[in-house]
Copies of this chain bind each other. A is one copy, B any other.
Amino acid sequence: MSPRSSAQFEEMREDKKTLIMNVALEHFSDYGFHATTISHIAKHAGISKGLMYNYYKSKEDLLAAIINRSLDEIYQSFNPDHDSSLTPDEFENFIKRIFAIFREKRQFWKLIYRVMLQRGVYEHLSDDPDATFTVGGMPLMEYSAYMGKLFSDYFIRKKETEGPDYDPVTEMLMFSNTLKGFALTYIFAPEQYPDLYFEKIIETLIRKYR
């Protein structure tokens, strides 16, 4: 039998790191950062409390790792090939994809809503230079600003085809906040959305804002 290579060890190590992340994501997103204890995470991951600290140097380090992993995953599945400006088709695809992501990454969004809304936790993370979040190599804040501009331009461009009392800022606010509201409800109370309406709402959003 061949001896285990160090690569295989590394793989097992990664498996365990991943396992811890998965368990921690569930607990953080369900109970919040403060209310989740390292002991609970360890117990549910089937390891001892002490071992946690071989893989992550602190509770916050673990949280940052989870967030970074999810940001990467989301960025990957977004496959953003828009180099400059948004076409109506791209706009439509964005809506479809973002709802799919809400569905697939529900746990992560729960975490985001809980942690980001908890003053002190996020601020502390932002202060730590090891934990500056990046999306596709770009700092998170920069990426958000870039996306904001993309959509803002899209709604400004629509002004030409719409009536004279069309206000792009109001329209964009209406759109982004509707999305936000659906995200919130779907993430925390998905039972309110039978699959039928999930699809219908995507259609409606496209019809009203494309």
Contacts and interface: CB of A to CB of B under 8 A. Distances in A.
A197 B177 CA distance: 13
A184 B188 contact: no
Interface string A176-202: 111111101100100000000100110
Interface class of chain A by DSSP: helix
Interface residues of A, number: 32
Contacts of A120: 31-32, 35
Nearest to A118: B32
A167 interface: yes
A129 B36 CA distance: 26
Interface of A: 30-32, 34-35, 113-114, 117-121, 167, 169-170, 173-174, 176-182, 184-185, 188, 197, 200-201, 204, 208
Q: Which are the 8 A-B pairs with shortest beta-carbon distances?
A: A181-B181, A177-B181, A180-B181, A34-B34, A178-B178, A177-B182, A32-B118, A170-B200
